[in-house]
Amino acid sequence: MNTITTTNFNFPGQKSVYKGKVREVYNINDEQLVMIATDRLSAFDVVMPKGIPYKGQILNQIATKMMAATQDLVPNWLTATPDPNVAVGHLCEPFKVEMVIRGYMSGHAAREYKAGKRELCGVAMPEGMKENDAFPEPIITPATKAEMGNHDEDISRENILRRGIVSEADYVVLEDYTRKLFKRGSEIAASRGLILVDTKYEFGKTKEGNIVLIDEIHTPDSSRYFYADGYEDRQAKNEPQKQLSKEFVRQWLIANNFQGLKGQTVPFMSDDYIETVSERYIELYENITGETFVKGDVSNIQERIERNVLAYLKH
């Protein structure tokens, strides 16, 4: 199974490389960024030992399509996609917060609620809710951006402003953009028979001082989706929702006694299991985009990416 789990390119004009949990970002001449989506799989803020075939391509292509579908609402950093795994765009200074927005009480919010908490990131959660119920209104629950290997942390709007992580003027824009993107993302999901449950957006500032959407958007790594068909019925019967997200990996890890806690080791992932994860990601792509997934040539992914990026940078 050919996958790309790390890169070590040296492009013309390259100033630096930033390696995140999944993406590797090359700074070219302090003007543009070449972002490579690897096949790494991260869960509970831990990168799994094996790559997932086609995962990077899937994430990159969903994000590209979703940026195109939202650019009338919110400006974004993207200028080109010269390779299935690569996005190129404007150099931005990222904000050090992730804008998480939740339409439903699922995942982390549900775990906190079950633990008795009725407030998340300074936002009240109503009494009497059960897991996967819709919130009366979507809530924004930001998280601080952690360095690789550390956990992102919940943070309230008040704390972000008090600590000067983001200025109030900028934060108002981030909130506005987050709500607009979530509304559009929910509409796109509904048109595909899906519910956009929760998601996160990341923003940066261009050299000109404009706030733009960066990184990924509405992918199964950054978002949770439910199938709309049968949602109400499953809620009424207290049954788990049918999900389209990375949650299936998290559930498998939890079942195998791993939640990224100190002293826990990542369970062994067989090639057969890795193959099923890859198939689920392809299913996610096709459901989210409504298009058939076309597998990229993976005979030599590193060489393919390098060739395509070099050709783009030369033009």
Query: Tens of pLDDT along 207-229?
Result: 999 999 998 999 988 999 999 99
pLDDT in tens, 87-120: 999 999 999 999 999 999 998 999 999 999 999 9
Angle at 255 between CA 250 and CA 258, to 5 degrees: 65
DSSP labels, the chain: -----------TTEEEEEE-SSEEEEEETTTEEEEEE-S--EETTEE-SS--TTHHHHHHHHHHHHHHTTTTTS-BSEEEEEETTEEEEE-EEE-SEEEEEEEE--HHHHHHHHTT--EETTEE--TT--TTPEEEEEEE--EEPPPTTS--EE--HHHHHHTTSS-HHHHHHHHHHHHHHHHHHHHHHHHTTEEEEEEEEEEEEETT--EEEES--S-TTTEEEEESTTHHHHHHTTPPPPEESTHHHHHHHHHTT-SS-TT--PPP--HHHHHHHHHHHHHHHHHHHSS---PPP-TTHHHHHHHHHHHHHH-
pLDDT at 148: 56
pLDDT at 312: 97
CB atoms within 10 A of CB 217: 26
pLDDT in tens, 289-306: 999 999 999 999 999 999
pTM across the whole model = 0.90
Residues of the chain with pLDDT under 70: 146-151
